[in-house]
Amino acid sequence: MNYAQGPNPQQQQQQAMMPYQAQGMAQMWHQQNVMLCKRKILAIAPTFEIFDATGQQPIVFCQEKLFKIKDDIRIFSDSSKKVELLRIKQRNIMDWAGIFDVTDPATGQKLGAWKRKGWRSFARDEWMMCDQNDQQVGRIIETGTAWIRRFFKFIPYTFNFEVMGQPVGTFNQAFSFIGYKAMMDITPWQGLHVDRRMAFAGALLLMAIEAKEDANR
C-alpha cells in the first residue's frame, strides 16, 4: 500500500475549489496525525473538539444541531462557527443501523458515508466506511474485550481504522470518571485514495453516538 506523504491529485483539485478560509484549513487534514478528542460535558448542545497531540492547539470544533429528527453534525474551524468544514447528516429517520453522509459544505460534494452494522454491532461495534457511491472502502472496528464493555460501560473502548483491509489508524478512549477524552492516531493514513477527512468524521461520529447513548442510560 502506498503511504506517500501529502494529498493526492484529486484532493489537490478539491482544495482548489474551496473558499480561501477553508482552503487554509485543508492542509490540516494531512498534517495532523495524532490528535486529542474531547467532549464538552456541560454544553447545552452536544459539543466536541479535536486538538493536536498536546491538547493545547484546537483543530476543529463540532456541535450537533438540537431538536433535529435526524442527526445533523456540523464541523467548524473553531468555536466562532464562521467557517464550516464538514457536515455529517443521517440519511434516513427509520434506520436503526444508521447511514450518515459526509459532505463538504464549501463545494456540496459528498465525500462518503459511514454506516453502522446494526445488530451485528451489539457484540462488537463496527462501522462501514463507504465512498461517494456507497461502496465499502474501509471500516471502523471495535477491538479488545468489546463484549465486556456491553455490561461495564465505564471500560474505555478502542477502535481501529481500516482502508481496503489495511490498518490505517486507531481511536482509543481514555479512562476518566469525569469528562470524555480519546486519542486518534492516523499516521499511516497518508496518500490513500480515500479522503482523509473521513477519519475526522468517523471520530466525531463515534463521540456523538456515545454521547447519545450516555444520555439515554
Give CA 200 to chain center in angstroms.
4
Taking residues 208-216, what's their average pLDDT?
Answer: 72
* 144 occurs within a structural domain: yes
* 105 occurs within a structural domain: yes
* SS3 state at 119: helix
CB 142 within 8 A of CB 126: yes
* 3 occurs within a structural domain: no
Listing DSSP states for 186-210 in one string gives: -TT--S-SS-THHHHHHHHHHHHHH
Reported as a single tens digit per residue, the pLDDT across 8-60 is 544 444 444 344 344 445 566 778 899 999 988 776 777 899 999 998 888 89
Q: How far apart are CA 188 and CA 30, in angstroms?
A: 11
* 4 occurs within a structural domain: no
* 19 occurs within a structural domain: yes
Higher per-residue pLDDT: 24 or 134: 134
Q: How far apart are CA 60 and CA 202, in angstroms?
A: 14
CB 142 within 8 A of CB 127: no
* 127 occurs within a structural domain: yes
The pLDDT value recorded for residue 25 is 53
Give CA 141 to chain center in angstroms.
13
What does R_g of the chain's alpha carbons equal in angstroms?
Answer: 16
* 1 occurs within a structural domain: no
Report the predicted TM-score, pTM, of the whole model to 2 decimal places. Answer: 0.80
Reported as a single tens digit per residue, the pLDDT across 76-93 is 988 898 889 999 998 886
Containing structural domain, residue 76:
9-215
* 46 occurs within a structural domain: yes
Domain count, the chain: 1
Taking residues 105-124, what's their average pLDDT?
Answer: 82
- Residue 154 belongs to domain with CATH number: 2.40.160.200
